[in-house]
């Protein structure tokens, strides 16, 4: 089963998408397999991270923005805005795909784990994520 979900982002942030992915897994109605996610963009990424304490997400965002600042004099790619090249670097440092086992019909996420789309740009409207469910 393959399904594409779309998410409106509009600003830099970690957006939890666990409920949308769980819905797709439930639609697949399988007991064992793999759930693969792939984001079709070069300036946003996917992440499995803690979903209980929002300060974890804020700290990650602040840390990555400090690591990869906007306006660095070394950047030559500026046609799409000052946030675009840093967004490409952030995506290169993180991930554009995830694979999560499905066990007993559910994603095998840990207690505090959630699935996130990490938007690295300021003004993007919509992102597409392909979810592929493979029966085991």
The confidence score (pLDDT) of residue 131 equals: 98
Instruction: List, for residues 115-127, the tens digit of each pLDDT value.
Output: 999 999 999 889 9
Question: Which stretches of the chain are DSSP H helices?
Answer: 18-28, 54-67, 84-93
Q: How far is CA 45 from CA 30, 38, 68, 115, 120, in A?
A: 27, 9, 15, 11, 8
Domains of the chain, CATH where assigned? 2-135 (2.60.120.460)
Confidence (pTM): 0.95
Bridging pattern class, strands 44-50 and 2-8: unpaired
For 71, the token pair is 């306006």
CA separation for the pair 46, 82 (Å, rounded): 22
Those residues with Cβ within 8 angstroms of residue 56's Cβ, 6 or more apart along the chain or in another chain: 49, 50
Instruction: List, for residues 68-113, the tens digit of each pLDDT value.
Output: 999 999 999 988 999 999 999 999 999 999 999 999 999 999 999 9
Instruction: List, for residues 18-67, the tens digit of each pLDDT value.
Output: 999 999 999 999 999 999 999 999 999 999 999 999 999 999 999 999 99
The confidence score (pLDDT) of residue 125 equals: 83
Which residues make beta-bridge pairs with 135? 33
């Amino acid at each position: 089963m393959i399904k594409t979900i779309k998410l409106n982002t509009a600003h830099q942030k970690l957006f939890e998408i666990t409920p949308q992915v769980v819905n797709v897994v439930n639609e697949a109605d399988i007991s064992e397999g793999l759930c693969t996610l792939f984001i079709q963009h070069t300036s946003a990424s996917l992440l499995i991270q803690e979903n209980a304490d929002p300060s974890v997400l804020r700290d990650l965002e602040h840390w990555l923005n400090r690591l990869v600042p906007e306006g660095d004099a070394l950047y030559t790619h500026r046609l799409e805005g000052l946030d675009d090249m840093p967004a490409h670097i952030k995506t290169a440092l993180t991930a554009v795909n995830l694979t999560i086992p499905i066990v007993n019909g559910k994603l095998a996420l840990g207690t505090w784990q959630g699935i996130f789309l990490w938007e690295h740009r300021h003004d993007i409207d919509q992102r597409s994520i392909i979810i592929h469910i493979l029966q085991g």
